[in-house]
Chains A and B, each alone.
Chain A
Amino acid sequence: MKAIHLLPLGGPGPDLVDALPGPLRQAFRIRVETHAFGLDPEQFFDAGRGQYNSTRLLMHLKSHYAALQQEPGICTLAIVPFDLFIPILTYVFGEAEVGGNVAVVSYHRLAPERYGLPPDNPLLLARFAKEVIHELGHVFSLIHCSVQSCVMHSSSYVEDIDLKEGSFCRACAAELALRS
């Protein structure tokens, strides 16, 4: 991979997007760019569940953005504010094509106020950066890691995200170096 393209969809706050390039460059050591991409997310909305289908969004991204890039080795990450699901699961924080070139992360469930707590922007940013690095790790063919503090450790709840760090464990870092 040569670069990461960040595509903010559906109006995420600029502070969230602005906070990403630094940690991503540190984690993956490649170029990070933010791009605009016109997309109506309503086509992925499932009225029955009141959520957005992340798998369909991912496939759309692959065929309508990633496939059209002239430069090879571009990894695309969509950032969305709405709640994502994959059909069999109740929700997901994000989804990635393992070993592919697209990923999506939602910050819908990451804000403390969603759980009745006062707003905490640094905490939200930290959670968001960890989930973005996690999903991009999958794009780089990494699988879930058993090391609790590794960013590739699987997280189903925000508390799980808080427990891990924003960096790779030694084994995952070595694996990433091989894949890069």
Chain B
Amino acid sequence: MNKSEIGILVVDDELIVRESLSKWFREDGYRVEAAENSAAALRKLQAGPWNIMLVDIKMPGMDGIELLQRVRQTNKEVAVIVITAFATVDTAVKALKEGAFDYITKPIDPDYLDHMVDKALQQQLLLRENQKLKDTVSELSESGEIIGESPEMKKVMDLVHTVAPTDTTVMIRGESGTGKELVARAIHAGSTRKYFPIVTVNCGAMTESLLESELFGHERGAFTGAQYRRKGKVELADGGTLFLDEIGNIDTKTQMDLLRVIETKQFTRVGGTEILRSDFRVVCATNKDLEGAVREGTFREDLYYRLNVFTIDLPPLRGRRGDIANLAHYFLEKFSRQMNKKVQGFSPEAMQALKAHDWPGNVRELENAVERAMVVAQGDVIERSHLPLHAVVSGQRDGKRLEDVEQRHIEQVLRDNGWNVSRSAAVLDIDRVTLYHKIEKFGLKREQ
């Protein structure tokens, strides 16, 4: 930063001090102004940005400490250096407690003054860089891909926003492909732990011993092939979030170890004796019937209750059909960028097919279907024939379920009656409240 862009405001009731300091800093090339009292200083502070304020403690009217308090109420950035004639511990401590960068005694050693100003500017630069990095991290971590305008997904996002800032253990339940990991990441991104890592453990993908080593790490020589000490996911998640995916798949021995580490936040590496600590928040996910597993004795009841503190149920895609069009367009744009293809949208038939499909693989299946269609599409529109929906077994019952028939019928009646709910309810011979519930349940929306 050019020195002429750095603003220094000198606040002192003595003219000679104002002039001396202003002259000193001007010789250094800084932009300098002076104020003869606190009121004038506050006016100047409002009028423009300042990097450093040099404030005399003893001034008639509002003194330097009071000015410092007033400045701190509205401006956290400007570095305030307090000038005092007599350095007393009380004054210094008070100034620092009120948020002064430092204090300096009169007369000032010129080298000390230059050094202090440099230090204040350096700190300001670091704080700004730090804030910039934090903003970047926030932006990156919050750029999750949770797409959904349906009432079901809005409810999910409300729950995420409610639970995220707390340190509560969260269990996310939902079919495979509904976006459980995305929700876990959204919870992490909304928490105070967001500047620490979120560490994912896929519990379903590992054998008993491998999972134990993955979770807790191992010492060198703990088992054949353990040539080096390795930190486990629990240790790596220190300060952040431990996301245990497919929690319903872990064996009983690891369930016991996991319960212990969740309760005590202490663990030992495999083959080690040293007790280690890790401060982490647990978010877990499952698509299994854990209550049934508890009843059958394959999942520990105590661990179940420890994990099932706050539950978020993710609806399957067929339960929020109103989101299908948005999601399809989102994936279309995503793959257009990735593949550098200019596909504009879906033909009406293709969109109808997407909306009517059952999506047993949920959002993941929809994403894959759009990706495949993008690969085979030659023109700028995805046609029905580009979609691989025929390959899905569940497609055979497309539109045949009673629920599907009901949804289609309600949608048709609403359309026929120009989305007049009272008239449509009368035609359907149900009351308006029931119709509203059905509209919400099926995620029906008036087409624009």
Do most interface residues of chain B lie in helix, strand or loop, or is the interface mixed?
Answer: helix
Q: How far is the CB of B162 from chain A (nearest CB, A)?
A: 53
Residue from the list A88, A90, A154 in contact with B114, Cβ < 8 A:
A154
A55 at the interface (CB under 8 A from B): yes
By beta carbon, the residue of chain A nearest B14 is A87
Q: Which one of B23-31, B92-100, B267-275, B381-389 contacts A?
A: B23-31
B108 neighbours in A (Cβ, 8 Å): 88-90
Contacts across chains A and B counted by CB atoms under 8 Å = 55
A90 to B108 Cα, complex, angstroms: 5
By beta carbon, the residue of chain B nearest A143 is B29
Please tell me if the beta carbons of A90 and B20 are within 8 angstroms of each other in the complex.
no
A55 neighbours in B (Cβ, 8 Å): 16, 19-20
Residue from the list A87, A91, A144 in contact with B28, Cβ < 8 A:
A144
Q: How far is the CB of B432 from chain A (nearest CB, A)?
A: 76
Please tell me if the beta carbons of B27 and A144 are within 8 angstroms of each other in the complex.
yes
Please tell me if the beta carbons of B27 and A89 are within 8 angstroms of each other in the complex.
no
Given contacts A88-B17, A143-B29, A154-B28, contact A98 B23 (CB under 8 A): yes
A49 neighbours in B (Cβ, 8 Å): 107
B27 neighbours in A (Cβ, 8 Å): 98, 138, 143-144, 154
Number of B interface residues in the complex (CB < 8 A):
22
A26 at the interface (CB under 8 A from B): no
B113 at the interface (CB under 8 A from A): yes
A61 to B435 Cα, complex, angstroms: 95
Contact with A along B82-125 (1 / 0, CB 8 A): 01000000000000000000000011111101100000000000
Please tell me if the beta carbons of A89 and B23 are within 8 angstroms of each other in the complex.
no
Please tell me if the beta carbons of A144 and B20 are within 8 angstroms of each other in the complex.
no
Please tell me if the beta carbons of B110 and A87 are within 8 angstroms of each other in the complex.
no
B17 neighbours in A (Cβ, 8 Å): 87-88
A92 neighbours in B (Cβ, 8 Å): 110
B111 neighbours in A (Cβ, 8 Å): 156-157
Q: How far is the CB of B26 from chain A (nearest CB, A)?
A: 6
B184 at the interface (CB under 8 A from A): no
Q: Which of B1-37 contact A (CB under 8 A)?
A: 3, 14, 16-17, 19-21, 23-24, 26-29
A52 at the interface (CB under 8 A from B): no
Please tell me if the beta carbons of B20 and A86 are within 8 angstroms of each other in the complex.
yes
15 contacts between A and B (CB under 8 A): A55-B16, A55-B19, A86-B20, A86-B23, A88-B24, A88-B107, A88-B108, A89-B108, A89-B110, A98-B23, A143-B28, A143-B29, A144-B28, A156-B111, A156-B114
Which residues does A use to contact B, with CB under 8 Å? 49, 55, 85-92, 98, 138, 143-144, 154, 156-157
Which 4 interchain pairs have the tightest Cβ spacing? Answer: A156-B111, A143-B29, A88-B20, A86-B20
Q: Given A89-B108, A154-B114, list of 18 further CB < 8 A pairs?
A: A55-B16, A85-B107, A86-B23, A87-B14, A87-B20, A88-B16, A88-B106, A88-B107, A88-B108, A91-B110, A98-B26, A98-B27, A138-B27, A143-B27, A143-B28, A144-B29, A156-B109, A156-B114
